[in-house]
């Protein structure tokens, strides 16, 4: 039995039978019931579960995912087991799950903000506003870190009210471009993302250069200096955590500890 076959069997076993109350020893859905729900033959289900066929089509996988009531993460895993790319999402989500909210509450007094897959700012705490200034007066559509990293027509930064110096600007730019490129693969039809990339490509030469070159880079930590008007220069470490399914980016700024 292959990993694909054993996983399908496990998912089938956890579902209640389609005809509850019937006398039988097997738990979960019968193969015949899964076949009927997914619109494929019983023999095909048997061959998949026994590992005699390991390359189902995307259409078959989609039907099985619906019949087995798979979550998005489980559906994606099913496609990967069959060596196919998971379906692309249709739209970027600005929703913060309860689990992420629990993580945010556990970060204490650190300055924290959450960005969507296209670097749109969707949440920040009081410590973030105290350190960088309150983003609230900025129109929501302009609260975007990619726009701040690659300003168009001389636009001023919107996510910080005072200057912020970074030690690794080139790496930060590469990371932003790389993340946006990945987002286009995950959310190819999202209008907000499409508009953002078109705006940055047309209006910022540096972004256009990196985008055209296919540049790819990863950068999940940095050291920054915030030129705070009341407290003078404040050194902070910047760490970026990613929520895999929605590709949310949790940015945490903590005071640098001299050592």
Residue 22 has pLDDT above 60, yes or no: no
- Give per-residue pLDDT as tens, 34-70: 999 999 999 999 999 998 888 899 999 999 999 999 9
Residue 20 has pLDDT above 70, yes or no: no
Q: What is the mean pLDDT of residues 164-168?
A: 87
Predicted confidence band of residue 194 (pLDDT cuts 50, 70, 90): very high
pLDDT, position 259: 54
Predicted confidence band of residue 195 (pLDDT cuts 50, 70, 90): very high
Q: What is the mean pLDDT of residues 171-177?
A: 91
Q: What is the mean pLDDT of residues 79-105?
A: 87
pLDDT, position 232: 92
For residue 246, the number of C-alpha atoms closer than 13 Å in the C-beta half-sphere is 18
pLDDT above 90 as % of the chain = 63
pLDDT above 70 as % of the chain = 95
Q: What is the mean pLDDT of residues 134-145?
A: 93
Domains of the chain: 3-81 (1.10.260.40), 98-255 (3.30.450.180)
- Give per-residue pLDDT as tens, 27-44: 789 999 999 999 999 999
CA atoms of 131 and 228, how far apart (whole Å): 7
Residue 80 has pLDDT above 70, yes or no: yes
Q: What is the mean pLDDT of residues 73-102?
A: 87
Distance of CA 46 to the CA centre of its chain: 35
Helix (H, G, I), strand (E, B) or coil at 92: coil
Residue 82 has pLDDT above 80, yes or no: yes
Q: What is the mean pLDDT of residues 84-104?
A: 86
- The DSSP secondary-structure symbol of 141 reads G
Helix (H, G, I), strand (E, B) or coil at 20: coil
CA atoms of 60 and 65, how far apart (whole Å): 9
Who contacts 146 (Cβ-Cβ below 8 Å, separation ≥6)? 118, 119, 176, 180, 196, 200
pLDDT, position 242: 87
Q: What is the mean pLDDT of residues 96-122?
A: 92
- CA distances in angstroms from 24 to 17, 21, 35, listed in the order given: 10, 9, 18
Residue 90 has pLDDT above 80, yes or no: no
């Amino acid at each position: 039995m292959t990993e694909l076959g054993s996983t399908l069997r496990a998912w089938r076993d956890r579902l209640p039978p389609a005809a509850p109350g019937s006398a039988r020893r097997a738990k979960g859905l019968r193969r015949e019931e899964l076949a009927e729900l997914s619109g494929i033959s019983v023999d095909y289900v048997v061959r998949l579960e026994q590992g005699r066929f390991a390359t189902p089509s995307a259409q078959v996988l989609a039907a099985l995912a619906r019949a087995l009531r798979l979550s998005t993460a489980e559906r994606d895993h099913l496609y990967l087991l069959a060596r196919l790319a998971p379906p692309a999402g249709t739209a970027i989500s600005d929703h913060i799950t309860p689990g992420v909210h629990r993580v945010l509450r556990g970060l204490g007094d650190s300055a924290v903000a959450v960005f969507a897959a296209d670097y749109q700012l969707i949440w920040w705490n009081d410590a973030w506003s105290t350190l960088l200034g309150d983003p609230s007066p900025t129109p929501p559509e302009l609260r975007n870190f990619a726009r701040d990293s690659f300003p168009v027509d001389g636009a001023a930064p919107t996510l910080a009210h005072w200057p912020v110096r970074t030690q690794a600007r080139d790496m930060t730019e590469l990371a932003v471009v790389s993340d946006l490129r990945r987002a286009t693969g995950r959310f190819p039809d999202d209008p907000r993302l499409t508009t953002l990339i078109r705006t940055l490509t047309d209006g910022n030469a540096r972004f256009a250069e990196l985008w055209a070159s296919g540049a790819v880079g990863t950068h999940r930590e940095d050291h920054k200096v915030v030129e705070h008007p009341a407290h003078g220069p404040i050194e902070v470490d910047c760490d970026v955590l990613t929520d895999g399914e929605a590709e949310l980016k949790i940015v945490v700024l903590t005071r640098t500890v001299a050592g």
